[in-house]
Structure 1
Amino acid sequence: MIRLPDAAGTLRVHAPRRSPAPPLPPGPPPRSRTVFAAAHVVADPFRNTTPHGRADLDWDATLAFRRHLWEHGLGVAEAMDTAQRGMGLDWPVAAELIRRSAAEARAAGGRIVCGAGTDQLPAASAVTSADVAAAYEEQLAVVEAAGARAVVMASRALAAVATGPDAYREVYGRLLRQTAEPVILHWLGPMFDPALEGYWGSTDLDAATDTLLAVVADHPDKVDGVKVSLLDAGRERALRQRLPHGVRCYTGDDFHYPELIEGDAPGGRHSDALLGVFDPLGPPAAHAVRKLDAGDHHAFRALLDPTVALARHLFERPARYYKTGVVLLAWLSGHQEHFTMAGGLHAARTLPHLARAYELADGLGLFPDPESAEARMKRLLSVHGIDP
Structure 2
Amino acid sequence: MTAPVPLPQGPYTPRATPLELPAGGAPLTSRTVYSAAHVVADPYTDTGPGGPAAVDWESTLAFRRHLWSHGLGVAEAMDTAQRGMGLDWSGAAELIRRSGAEARAVGGRIACGVGTDQLPSSSTPTLAEVTSAYEEQLTLAEANGVQPILMASRALARAARGPEDYLAVYAHLLRQSGEPVILHWLGPMFDPALEGYWGSADLDEATDTFLKVIAEHPDKVDGIKISLLDAAREIDVRRRLPSGVRCYTGDDFHYPELIAGDEQGFSHALLGIFDPLGPLAAHAVRVLDTGDVEGFRALLDPTVELSRHLFQPPTRFYKTGVVLLAWLAGHQDHFTMVGGLQSARSLPHLAKAYQLADGLGLFPDPELAAHRMRTLLEVQGGTR
User: Do they superpose with TM above 0.5?
Assistant: yes
> What secondary structure sits across from 1:295 in the alignment?
coil
Hey, what's the Cα distance between the residues in 1 that align with 2:251 and 2:44?
Answer: 35
Aligned to 1:63: 61
Deviation at 1:99, TM superposition (A): 0.5
Aligned to 1:283: 279
Q: Do the aligned partners of residues 288 and 49 (structure 1) sit closer, same or farther apart at CA in structure 2, a change above 3 Å counting?
A: farther
- Higher mean C-alpha displacement, 190-199 vs 120-129: 120-129
Hey, what's the Cα distance between the residues in 2 that align with 1:248 and 1:2?
Answer: 44
Structure 1 consecutive aligned stretches of length 4 or more whose deviation exceeds 3 Å: 385-388
Task: Give TM-score scaled by structure 1 length.
Answer: 0.97
Deviation at 1:49, TM superposition (A): 5.6
Deviation at 1:121, TM superposition (A): 0.1
Please tell me the residue identity of whatever aligns with 1:297. Answer: V
Q: Do the aligned partners of residues 50 and 27 (structure 1) sit closer, same or farther apart at CA in structure 2, a change above 3 Å counting?
A: farther
Number of aligned pairs? 381
Aligned to 1:370: 366
Match status 1:28 vs 2:26: yes
Hey, what's the Cα distance between the residues in 1 that align with 2:381 and 2:314?
Answer: 26
- Higher mean C-alpha displacement, 46-55 vs 242-251: 46-55
Match status 1:313 vs 2:309: yes
Spell out the pairing of 1:63-102 with structure 2 (5 A cutoff): 63-102=61-100
Deviation at 1:15, TM superposition (A): 0.7
Hey, what's the Cα distance between the residues in 1 that align with 2:7 and 2:265?
Answer: 43
> What secondary structure sits across from 1:17 in the alignment?
coil
> What secondary structure sits across from 1:18 in the alignment?
coil
Hey, what's the Cα distance between the residues in 2 that align with 1:158 and 1:13?
Answer: 49
> What secondary structure sits across from 1:3 in the alignment?
strand
Please tell me the residue identity of whatever aligns with 1:323. Answer: K
Please tell me the residue identity of whatever aligns with 2:341. Answer: L
Hey, what's the Cα distance between the residues in 1 that align with 2:182 and 2:50?
Answer: 32
Match status 1:3 vs 2:6: yes
Hey, what's the Cα distance between the residues in 2 that align with 1:22 and 1:256?
Answer: 24
Aligned to 1:131: 129
Contact kept? 1:23, 1:368, Cα under 8 Å: no
Which of 280, 284, 289 is the equivalent residue of 1:293?
Answer: 289
Q: Do the aligned partners of residues 299 and 67 (structure 1) sit closer, same or farther apart at CA in structure 2, a change above 3 Å counting?
A: same
> What secondary structure sits across from 2:381 in the alignment?
coil
Q: Do the aligned partners of residues 178 and 260 (structure 1) sit closer, same or farther apart at CA in structure 2, a change above 3 Å counting?
A: same
Aligned to 1:114: 112
> What secondary structure sits across from 2:152 in the alignment?
coil
Contact kept? 1:24, 1:284, Cα under 8 Å: no
- Identity, in percent, stands at 69
Please tell me the residue identity of whatever aligns with 2:373. Answer: M
Hey, what's the Cα distance between the residues in 2 that align with 1:181 and 1:369?
Answer: 42
Aligned to 2:228: 230
Contact kept? 1:70, 1:110, Cα under 8 Å: yes
> What secondary structure sits across from 2:176 in the alignment?
coil
Contact kept? 1:152, 1:186, Cα under 8 Å: yes
Q: For each residue in 1:249-308, what CA deviation from the matched residue of structure 2 results, as whole angstroms up to 9, or x when unmatched?
A: 11000000000000013xx11000000000000000010011111000011000000000
Hey, what's the Cα distance between the residues in 2 that align with 1:214 and 1:139?
Answer: 24
Contact kept? 1:277, 1:311, Cα under 8 Å: yes
Aligned to 2:199: 201
Deviation at 1:237, TM superposition (A): 0.3
Which of 184, 191, 201 is the equivalent residue of 2:189?
Answer: 191
Hey, what's the Cα distance between the residues in 1 that align with 2:6 and 2:69?
Answer: 35
Task: Give TM-score scaled by structure 2 length.
Answer: 0.98
Hey, what's the Cα distance between the residues in 2 that align with 1:44 and 1:27?
Answer: 32
Contact kept? 2:21, 2:283, Cα under 8 Å: no
Q: For each residue in 1:184-232, what CA deviation from the matched residue of structure 2 results, as whole angstroms up to 9, or x when unmatched?
A: 0000000000000000000010000000010001110000011000000
Which of 258, 261, 282 is the equivalent residue of 2:259?
Answer: 261
Aligned to 2:50: 52
> What secondary structure sits across from 1:177 in the alignment?
helix
> What secondary structure sits across from 1:246 in the alignment?
coil
